[in-house]
Chain A
Amino acid sequence: MANATIENVKKSFGDVEVLHGISCDIRDGEFIVILGPSGCGKSTLLRLIAGLEKITSGTIKIEERVVNDLEPADRDIAMVFQNYALYPHMTVFNNMAYGLKIRKMTKEEIRNRVHKAAEILELSELLNRKPRQLSGGQRQRVAMGRCIVREPKLFLFDEPLSNLDAKLRVQMRLEIRRLHQSLNITSIYVTHDQVEAMTLADRLIVMDKGFAGQIGTPLEVYEKPANKFVAGFIGSPAMNFFDAEMAGDGKSIRLSSGEGLQLSGEGVTETAEKTVTVGIRPEHFVICDENKAQIHLRTDLVEKLGADTLVHGYFKDNGDALTLRLNGIQHFDRNNLLPMWVAPENVHVFNQQSGDRLN
């Protein structure tokens, strides 16, 4: 258990800089998820922390100790790899014990630790099997067991669930969460799956093109995305974006159709821009009576998913496409004009050029 600090970490491969300075303080026992699309540098960041790659500049500290030049084995970390990286010729027991043997631990101690970890992970029956005799979920657990026995300061996960099928992924996600709650080891977890990220994380680092787009709790990231990228990346279906004009001293926005929406609180206080990008999540539209309506949607296609219904359509008198998510199964005809209302706190305003949040 330990805290860790990442300070302005940069990484270049040859002439190409892939990480442009990432900083983050990780608290003791915290579960950090690094989320981002492929190629955003999230795995690279994890590998830098693990020591599998050398950082170009910046500092990485684990429990106040600078580890920049230490070998992975000397950093007191453990890592779960995407394809498990189990040694195929060793039994489950030996896979878990290997790192301990190298550290010249006594046989007694090794056996105790492995059996304890196996019990936690329900692997006790499988200790004499080879990895190829195990199912995907079991392999995943062995990979975690290999980390647990080491009792590391830092637990690193590199997309550990991406090779599992959907059902197993949900199950393993819960197990990882449970494991973290009982062991309370500081963890850093890389994934491109936002459901995993939202459910596992104490805090999220949302990455884009080598930058940390936002660092915050899942709710912060969902409710107040720091920029258009984060806003669009989190949430499914993705947030709707459309252009609008600022109005009413920055407290509201107006669409080209003439309809408008209220902003919460102070609204947009300081901006020179008149045209902005507005983002609203599909689940935040509320269908209401005509007299309460702020905006109108012309329906196009309706997808009924069972638990909810997706309505695709356009703004009235405007080409911008919109998607709505409504609870339960609802019926709409095509080309129907729907009156709608959006709560002010659910209207996000972004700078049209930079994409930064304005309200």
Chain B
Amino acid sequence: MDQLLQQLINALSLGGIYAMLALGLAIVFSIVGLINFAHGDIMTFGGYGIFLSMVFGFPPVAALCIGLGAAVVMALAMERTAFRVMRGADVISLLITSFAVSEILKVLFQNGISARPVPISFPASWSGSYQIGGMTIGVAPTASILVTILSLGCLTFVLRRLAIGMAMRAAAEDFDMLRMLGVRANRVVAAAFAISGLLAGVAAVIWTAQRGSVDPMMGFFPVLKAFIATVLGGLGSLGGAVLGGFVIGTLEVLTQAFLPDALAPYRDAIVLSAVIAVLLVRPDGLLPARSGARS
């Protein structure tokens, strides 16, 4: 029982990261129809922001804040330089643009910083653990879950209570109507990218704190999983993205923990088969967007 509870905590920790990344993807997709595969590179840039800050002697907490800021700046720069000129283009063109941006950034990271992972050495206390009953729980997964809950709570507040958040939700419903009502499109889109960058930055903070290194490919694999999560949840659905993230994280952890040894190499295949099975039953995802595209 203790082991199951420990694994559920692990699942929440991993699922939370996927949920934040998936939400970042979904926010941008719901407004401009872009599946931003360079989202992982925003996360990576945030990680390098943390690394470079620590190299230049900033204390760890300040380095984390700089990493967050770096991710937001990168997301805004990406929107301004690459995606604004492509606004209105079809999904395929946007997709190819995002792949190109991603590749360019990877090469820049590799040649400008290092092709190999660079270490981030956080204080030992951040890698500590504590006991509850018979369970040993890590500080990092706990912090990860708390930060995820806090981030999603703040985002909910922004989307539901602030004018810019309501404008973004309206844009997700009908962007053209929103513009006809006099809301500045650039501002709404930039805000969407900034929030998506912030979420990627938070994911970068948790990721680097848990993994201890940054490399040019750091963001690629989690964003791939996050993309699967957005499809599973319902493309363009914000709630669906969060749910999809937690479902994928839980499936990954539980299959890692409890699959028999003989089936272990098929872990990813089993997780993806489960996703396909769900999509066969609910082709629009678990929580489809009201005007969402079919997965």
Q: Do A and B come from one complex?
A: no
Which residues does B use to contact A, with CB under 8 Å? none
Which residues does A use to contact B, with CB under 8 Å? none
